[in-house]
Structure 1
Amino acid sequence: MRSWKIAPMLCTAWVVVACGGGGNGGGSGLLPISLKQSSAVVDSEVKALDTVAQLPARGADSAPPTASAGRGSLIVSPPALLQRLSADEFSLRLEEHPALKQVLMGFPAITGKSAVACGIDLRELEYRTGDEKGAIINANGVVMIPTGASPMCQGPRPIALYAHGTWFTRDYTFTKLTDPTQPAAAEGMLVAAVFASRGYIVVAPNLAGYGKSNLPYHPYLNGDQQGKDLVDALTAARKALPEIGGKDSGKLLVTGISQGGYVAMAAHRELQATGQSITASAPISAPSAISLLIDHNFQGLTSNGATPFIPLLTTSWQTQFGSLYADPGEIYEARYASGIEALMPSNQPTLNDVITSGKLPAYEFFPESDKPSVPNPWFKQSGDANLIKGTYIRAVLEDIRSNSCPGNTLAPLSDLPELAETYVDYRLSGAKEVVDRIQTATGVDLTTLGSIAAIMRWIENPPWLVGVALSAGFGTDLPAIKRTMVQYAPLIESAVLHMNAGKKFKLPSEEVNGSAANPGASTPLQCQPRNAMRKAALANDLRDWTPQRPVLMCGGGLDATVSFRSTLATAAYFRANGMPDDKLKVIDLEATPAPGDSFAFAHTGFRLASAINWNILNPVTAREKSQKTLDGYHYLLVSPPCLLAARSFFESHADTN
């Protein structure tokens, strides 16, 4: 959660995905993919993406004109060239983030698509946007222009407008894309690989309060300001394109991860409200139902990262409304209240520096006297170093009871799968994946065999080994199959140990699948809270509009950083207000995809990455493995497959604009 540094294990996971979906191809699929292969362009995809680029556009130039020094205007024109990388040079840069390279080079083995087709011109975009009151402020970010001889990299290109996730230090900038010491580099390289190297023009601003912004705070989850900020970056970039070799096809994908998913949705809302063209949006792991998340955090389903998130929120919303408090000491314990309004994003190098200096606790949100009835098994929610005052927590809980919002209900904590330790182990370890694969390959349900001994006797049966190996794409070489199955042995044992937990609990997406038909689904925010933080959350909740253009919402059902319940509640609201299924796709990567699901590749890769991550981690206790896996779940496991799904979703809808 707290780092975009991607562990080498992820590389292994996505390569396994590639070999597992090989269809009729020969070989094991485990051979490394060469740099020459990564640069080759497959004709079929060139034609597909070129079709996306060449489709007739409506509204490409429909953004309203701005004054020369107004919103969406350029501060520096043309944008300065920061770096020019050929396709081969960019591939080599990906070597600095080997997991990223393997993530993106594993998928071509399934789809037949090349991984890196285009070089990239990276330019700094300096533009003007507005603060929470609309006053003009400076901002910067980057524009990535695809280059190269391939037809995929030339002519009118689609635009991917990208909003970054939450970061806790001010020096978070995409302008230092290839600097391995820059915290934004991994996120930026992932976006460049998924989009720019595949022929998309990428517009990726540093949100207000980061980079060269002259705003002294970050307007965190202020939907109006952040949506307009992203649109202003798009407006400025489009003005610059003729001067920097970019040609806009008029096809636009708006996407982002975490906070960036929220901002992407807010920007989609802004584009729609102002009559500007958009092809599709893909908010990933988005806190779009922010009032739900605030209520749930105080009720005990507390985010992994709540202690830095809340100061970002209170500073933003106090600046927006001026009514959260007369003094921050009304919310925060005295040891933190002084200086907390200027704490986030920090000028210190890392969040850990902020914590070790005593300005924030690592996890403790609640005092011991007001801790939740069911403790979070993954991190310490309560303690003597708590951030929030018990009196404030009790006041918020009383307001939730007295002025509940129909779209924010939460089941008893004891019923939540996210807090069920053995259930989470069962899924993250890959045990459920093994049970499912064996049942698919052989028709045998391990959970009915009754004992570890019975299962171990059964798995020694060579036909079973061959059946599972064939289903996983490993061929028929029995000695090789047996070697491969060694890695599955601990998963099978884990399946037996946790099968009861798997039977008891359901994913959030399984719990609320029919929630669009529930009473109040169409009016989830029909409530009148008295608490000022809950009022501000209600005002910034994005369940107040219905998209007219296609939306993909992607995430993971066990996300401990931004609960997937936010995505589900938002999607339920959209459906209850008439958004048709063909325009709204929701992906819970934890769920088993339906037969023929075109996004099955994302599910498969995610689940294998999770299992491999869980099983190689030290220390070796299940609880610590699950905790460490959940720490990286939000960004490291969910983001790559969801971004690839976003690209696929956009290309499937590009001819509908």
Structure 2
Amino acid sequence: MIVSKSTTAINNKSSSSTHQSVSIMTGKPVMLRCLLSVAIASSLLLVGCGDDNDFDAVIGSDSATSVKSISSFNTAQINTQFGLDGTATPDAKCDIKIEKVSYPTVGAAGERTNATAALMLPSGDSADCQGDRPILLYAHGTTTDKGYDFSQVANPQNPAAGEATLIAANFAAQGYIVVAPNYAGYDESDLDYHPYLVAEQQATDMADALDSARTIIARQQRANDPDYTNLDDSGKLFISGYSQGGHVAMATARMFEQNDEPVTAIAPLSGPYALAAFGDAIFSGNVNIGASRFAPLLASGLQNAYGNVYNSTADIFTANYANTQLPSLLSFGELVAANKLPDNALFEKDPENNPTLDLLPAPTVPFASIGFADDNYLIKTDFRTAYVADALQNPDSLIAMTGALPAANPQNNLRKALKANDLRGYVPKMPTLLCGGNQDPTVFYDLNTSSMAAIIQGSVAQNPALTVNVTVLDVDATTANDRPDNSNVQLIGQASMNQWNINSVVASVQSNFVQNLQRVVAAGAEQGIPASVAVLGNYHGGLVSTACTQATREFFNQEFKPA
């Protein structure tokens, strides 16, 4: 029997990651003054375009990889000192050993570079902790912090601690071998930018990390390392990730499928899959929460990928911010305080004498106003105008409500690049869980998760012989009365045959979500923070992330039959 931890107040430590941060080692809730900073967005603003690059993996020999020990935790420490109350994390079955793998990979232009990944190993007397073990390949959420290191489980000094600790407890401590790349450009990587949402590069990075981890496991077993000798790769591979990592997980699954590499099941969570439509929505005025955070990260990474995003960063960014480089050794709050990034303002408010922008309808998201300012906004108005002009001339069919796919022939370079990295049209053949929350202010649920579900459902309707097994879960049932035509659960293809108690799992996930939502509102009220602000600041990075992690653990825990 799995015993879940009691759901006390959800912890929200300010971080520049899109994933929840938790209070490590004390278990006490943390509610910082600026709740909005918890839910940093996967901004989809500055993606370049150009020729496809050759992303050949550069793993060549055992000597190309290295490993070092970071930490270890026994079950008692995991259960009492990880501060995961409110996350429905089950009691640990296994002790865990945390290693860091250094491996070669490629950058956005195919150039050789290096990166690091966390390798989490279960151990213990239980049959769940030794012998043939499944591997979880996990992709983390967006962060502006150069020092983000997924091997720093339970280390509150590292910005990755919250997400890494949650994944360690929910998977490594349950018997999974976990491989979690930090991505090129972070931690000890020599790359001076990050190829943010470059689908092919990020999938290659994930594959290189997995190959290197398997190389390390085999090498350490040959050396009779006691941390490895009782473990074997069972051949079962699960792929998941949250926010940016949701997009990365789906892109990785697509690449593995194209290469005929077996994947047991995947769970992309709250990812920006419909990049082209999402970009059009943002530029039309529906600015998501946190959209100003990562535009420089995107611009530098994707300029390296495609070469024609800009001639100079001053082509895109206003003067105050044109020289900001990400990832940064400064936290997001420090970047704002130093006037290196605006807190929220993406665009100029009410620009005069602009007939193109005057054609746009009023924004439909209720929080869009915080994405605009008279001064100290990020994106230059002439850059936005050029983008919008093309979006009006060559509309995305999802935005125009005439279909579900990207524009057939966009002319703007940014829109071309968004389309090139848009995952609409991919229909996964392996069992899949798509999870999110319908009120997500950071990665819009209907635009991304629902559009993917509709395309997959349409593919099955056109070709019933397709091997499709997709479960779609909306963890937020609080808006059911306002969305009578939208089900919280969709079972597509063979999903109804999955061997898990889906009704019980969904009820538990949605109940925990509501309880944590109420606690966030109450904690905000104690500090005089309006409920709407408290929810906006915690919805994506805290509430949905923990709910979807619970759902993913239960989804992966079933026995999948070969297709």
TM-score range, shorter chain: 0.7 to 0.9
Following superposition, the deviation at residue 620 of structure 1 comes to: 6.7
Alignment partner of 1:251 is 2:236: yes
Aligned pair in 2 of structure 1 residues 289, 597: CA closer, same or farther (>3 Å)?
Answer: farther
Alignment partner of 1:302 is 2:302: no
Count of aligned residue pairs for this structure pair = 475
The answer as to whether partners of 1:75 and 1:128 remain within 8 angstroms in 2 is no
Following superposition, the deviation at residue 612 of structure 1 comes to: 2.2
SS state of the match for residue 557, structure 1? coil
Q: Quote the Cα distance in structure 1 between the aligned partners of 2:468 and 2:408.
A: 31
Q: How does 1:229-628 map to 2 (within 5 A)?
A: 229-242=205-218, 243=220, 244-245=228-229, 246-337=231-322, 339-340=323-324, 343-348=325-330, 350-370=331-351, 373-374=362-363, 376-377=366-367, 380-383=370-373, 384-409=375-400, 520-521=403-404, 524-564=405-445, 565-578=447-460, 583-591=469-477, 596=503, 598-618=505-525, 624-628=530-534
TM-score, with length taken from structure 1: 0.68
Deviates more, 1:247-256 or 1:579-588: 579-588
Q: Quote the Cα distance in structure 1 between the aligned partners of 2:285 and 2:58.
A: 44
Q: Quote the Cα distance in structure 2 between the aligned partners of 1:567 and 1:75.
A: 41
Aligned pair in 2 of structure 1 residues 87, 653: CA closer, same or farther (>3 Å)?
Answer: same
Q: Which amino acid is 1:346 matched to?
A: S
The answer as to whether partners of 1:104 and 1:194 remain within 8 angstroms in 2 is no
Q: Quote the Cα distance in structure 1 between the aligned partners of 2:415 and 2:450.
A: 20
Deviates more, 1:566-575 or 1:267-276: 566-575
What's the CA shift string for 1:221-246, capped at 9, x where partnerless? 00000011101111111122232333
Q: Quote the Cα distance in structure 2 between the aligned partners of 1:367 and 1:74.
A: 52
The answer as to whether partners of 1:378 and 1:626 remain within 8 angstroms in 2 is no
Match of 2:183 in 1: 207
What's the CA shift string for 1:548-592, capped at 9, x where partnerless? 111111111111111112111122222222387961111111235
Following superposition, the deviation at residue 604 of structure 1 comes to: 1.3
What's the CA shift string for 1:152-191, capped at 9, x where partnerless? 1011011110011111110000222232111101110100
Match of 1:227 in 2: 203
Q: Quote the Cα distance in structure 2 between the aligned partners of 1:76 and 1:228.
A: 16
% same residue = 34
TM-score, with length taken from structure 2: 0.79
Aligned pair in 2 of structure 1 residues 88, 72: CA closer, same or farther (>3 Å)?
Answer: farther
Q: Quote the Cα distance in structure 2 between the aligned partners of 1:408 and 1:652.
A: 37
Following superposition, the deviation at residue 148 of structure 1 comes to: 0.4
Alignment partner of 1:91 is 2:79: yes
The answer as to whether partners of 1:551 and 1:585 remain within 8 angstroms in 2 is yes
Q: Quote the Cα distance in structure 2 between the aligned partners of 1:269 and 1:351.
A: 32
Alignment partner of 1:190 is 2:181: no
Following superposition, the deviation at residue 205 of structure 1 comes to: 1.1
Match of 2:39 in 1: none
Q: Quote the Cα distance in structure 1 between the aligned partners of 2:398 and 2:60.
A: 35
Q: Which amino acid is 1:590 matched to?
A: D
Q: Quote the Cα distance in structure 1 between the aligned partners of 2:112 and 2:432.
A: 31
Match of 1:430 in 2: none
Q: Quote the Cα distance in structure 2 between the aligned partners of 1:620 and 1:196.
A: 36
Following superposition, the deviation at residue 379 of structure 1 comes to: 6.1
What's the CA shift string for 1:370-409, capped at 9, x where partnerless? 4983484476221111111122222222111100121333
What's the CA shift string for 1:436-489, capped at 9, x where partnerless? xxxxxxxxxxxxxxxxxxxxxxxxxxxxxxxxxxxxxxxxxxxxxxxxxxxxxx
Deviates more, 1:240-249 or 1:181-190: 240-249
Following superposition, the deviation at residue 603 of structure 1 comes to: 1.2
Following superposition, the deviation at residue 150 of structure 1 comes to: 0.7
The answer as to whether partners of 1:369 and 1:390 remain within 8 angstroms in 2 is no
SS state of the match for residue 302, structure 2? helix
Q: 1 or 2, which has the higher strand percentage?
A: 2
Q: Quote the Cα distance in structure 1 between the aligned partners of 2:130 and 2:233.
A: 11
The answer as to whether partners of 1:264 and 1:282 remain within 8 angstroms in 2 is yes
Q: Quote the Cα distance in structure 1 between the aligned partners of 2:150 and 2:215.
A: 20
SS state of the match for residue 557, structure 2? helix
SS state of the match for residue 546, structure 1? coil
Mark the structure with the bigger radius of gyration: 1
Match of 2:542 in 1: 636
Equivalent residue for 2:100, pick from 124, 135, 146: 124
Match of 2:22 in 1: 6
Q: Which amino acid is 1:645 matched to?
A: A
Following superposition, the deviation at residue 301 of structure 1 comes to: 1.6
Following superposition, the deviation at residue 621 of structure 1 comes to: 6.5
Equivalent residue for 2:88, pick from 78, 81, 104: 104
Following superposition, the deviation at residue 599 of structure 1 comes to: 2.1
Q: Quote the Cα distance in structure 1 between the aligned partners of 2:65 and 2:287.
A: 45
Following superposition, the deviation at residue 327 of structure 1 comes to: 2.1
Q: Quote the Cα distance in structure 2 between the aligned partners of 1:147 and 1:194.
A: 15
Q: Quote the Cα distance in structure 2 between the aligned partners of 1:135 and 1:629.
A: 42
